[in-house]
């Protein structure tokens, strides 16, 4: 089992910055893909950014150039640096990780509990 604890959310004015963290604990040897998703009220959950074990990154078009995903494999933590925040970035942000099996292939998928990000205009 893997437990994910997110932190760093809050209220910020448009144009401001926040840094989200998601720390993993429990029984695992490592992670393949790590990602951040978000869900705004009345909308479906959407992918924000992903980072592979080889540090390849992908971003949703809406956040490119403003958000940066990173990971620290020694701390089993994934981060999301969010700059130039806009009111439309307001959502609950969830981290998602995929464990790595002994053979390097994808294992189980886990979600964090979510952290609220609110951007005021």
Q: What is the DSSP string of 25-73?
A: EES-S-EEEEEEEEE-TTS--EEEEEE-TT--EEE-TTTTTTEEEEEET
* Res. 55 pLDDT band, cuts 50 70 90: very high
DSSP-derived secondary structure letter, 87: G
What is the tens place of the pLDDT at every residue in 9-53? Answer: 999 999 999 999 999 999 898 999 999 999 999 999 999 999 999
Distance between CA atoms of 40 and 59, rounded to whole angstroms? 17
Angle at 37 between CA 44 and CA 8, to 5 degrees: 125
Strands 31-39 and 91-100: antiparallel
**16-26 confidence digits (pLDDT tens):** 999 999 999 99
| Coil, strand or helix at 89 | helix
pLDDT reported for residue 5: 95
């Amino acid at each position: 089992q893997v437990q994910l604890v997110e932190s760093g959310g809050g209220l910020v004015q448009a144009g401001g910055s926040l840094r989200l963290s998601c720390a993993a604990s429990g029984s695992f040897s490592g992670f393949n893909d790590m990602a951040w998703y978000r869900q705004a009220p009345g909308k479906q959950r959407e992918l924000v950014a992903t980072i592979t074990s080889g540090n390849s990154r992908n971003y949703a078009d809406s956040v490119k150039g403003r958000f940066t995903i990173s990971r620290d494999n020694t701390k089993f933590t994934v981060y999301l640096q969010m700059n130039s925040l806009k009111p439309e970035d307001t959502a609950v942000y969830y981290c998602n990780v995929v464990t790595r099996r002994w053979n390097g292939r994808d294992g189980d998928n886990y979600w964090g509990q979510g952290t609220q990000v609110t951007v005021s205009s």
